[in-house]
Chains A and B, each alone.
Chain A
Amino acid sequence: MIHAFAYNVPYIAVVALILIGLYAVLFRRNLIKIVIGIVLIESGVNLFLITLGYRTGSIAPIYTSNPGLTNPMALPVPQALTLTSIVIGVAVLALMLSLIIHIYRHYGTLDSRKLGGDEE
């Protein structure tokens, strides 16, 4: 049991990031804090994608330091998919922040319990 939980520290970090981000989304009222929670969840998922592609004792997949493939190399496909995921996270963050600016101009407050109360 100790062997299992001492050498899998990246997976424990992924779970901690996702749970902290989920706590910020569910239990906070300010809209900016909810957006920060969503960004934390996305960071946790990106870290999980990268740690799936590691071989023990391998180096980065660049051929310059490894002529003739003498050392084992890390897998390149999960790194390529993580690149796409990071760009998607940036696009979603830009759209969320522009909508928050628009909401603040219309309502005058950033408290999520006071929005949308036109029918009581």
Chain B
Amino acid sequence: MSDDGMSRIVKTMTSLLFPLVFIYGLYVIAHGHLTPGGGFQGGAVVASGCAMILVAYGSGWTMKKVKEKNLSTVESLGALLFIGLAFLGLIFGAGVFFNNFLANSEFIFFGTKVAFGTTAANINTAGILPIMNFAVGMKVTAGLFAIVLVMAHATSSKKEDK
């Protein structure tokens, strides 16, 4: 990869397209319990948008803006949120690991009851499933972006390697 990235036209169009790709990826993550999609698929879409930014602006600029430590922190936060929700099922629910304790419980966040045979695709419904989707989406995005960033930085042509 070269140091400065691609030409000015490519940089402008990429910075105009990146919010659209990001919002589409967040839509796929957030509606994971109503339509096909979910945490892993939406995380891959957002990581593709971030890789587009990396290709257009060059690896040196992206490495200065986004440090590796921030990506590691985001990924660890996603994993801790996932395991924390699983342990809360032990305390609040029926005493089993991975219990869905918010599912039909009329809580204000995600607890609306769903009867058999309705097609009302309400986003307020499915218990801890949307929060788990968000945690897995954060983890997959940060992980894939960190892999691509480290590989691009290691193969850039600087003068100190052979």
Direct contact of A and B (CB under 8 A): yes
Query: Do A83 and B119 touch across chains, with their CB atoms under 8 A apart?
Result: no
How far apart sit A111 and B161, CA to CA, in the bound complex (Å)?
Answer: 21
Query: Do A98 and B121 touch across chains, with their CB atoms under 8 A apart?
Result: no
Number of interface residues of A (CB under 8 A): 16
Which residue on A lies nearest to B43, using beta carbons? A87
Residue of B116, B121, B155, B161 near A64 (CB, 8 A) is B121
Which residue on B lies nearest to A68, using beta carbons? B117
Query: Do A101 and B154 touch across chains, with their CB atoms under 8 A apart?
Result: yes
Flag B110-137 by CB within 8 Å of A: 1 or 0 each: 0000001111010000000000000000
Query: Do B40 and A83 touch across chains, with their CB atoms under 8 A apart?
Result: yes
How far apart sit A16 and B154, CA to CA, in the bound complex (Å)?
Answer: 37
Query: Do B151 and A67 touch across chains, with their CB atoms under 8 A apart?
Result: no
Is residue B147 contacting chain A, with contact meaning CB distance below 8 A?
yes
Give chain B residues whose Cβ lies under 8 Å from the Cβ of A5. Answer: none
Residue of B35, B40, B117, B155 near A62 (CB, 8 A) is B35
Which of the four size classes fits the interface of chain B?
10 to 19
Query: Do B151 and A97 touch across chains, with their CB atoms under 8 A apart?
Result: yes
Give chain A residues whose Cβ lies under 8 Å from the Cβ of B26. Answer: none
Flag A5-31 by CB within 8 Å of B: 1 or 0 each: 000000000000000000000000000
Query: Do B147 and A67 touch across chains, with their CB atoms under 8 A apart?
Result: no
Chain B nearest Cβ from A92, distance in angstroms: 12
Give chain B residues whose Cβ lies under 8 Å from the Cβ of A101. Answer: 151, 154-155
Give chain B residues whose Cβ lies under 8 Å from the Cβ of A90. Answer: 144
Query: Do B154 and A62 touch across chains, with their CB atoms under 8 A apart?
Result: no
Flag A94-105 by CB within 8 Å of B: 1 or 0 each: 100110010001
Chain B nearest Cβ from A5, distance in angstroms: 32
Task: Give residues in A with beta carbon < 8 Å to B.
Answer: 60, 62-65, 67-69, 83, 87, 90, 94, 97-98, 101, 105
- Of all A-B residue pairs in the complex, the 7 with the closest CB atoms, nearest first, are A68-B117, A67-B119, A94-B147, A64-B119, A67-B117, A64-B121, A87-B40
Task: Give residues in B with beta carbon < 8 Å to A.
Answer: 34-36, 40, 116-119, 121, 144, 147, 151, 154-155, 161-162
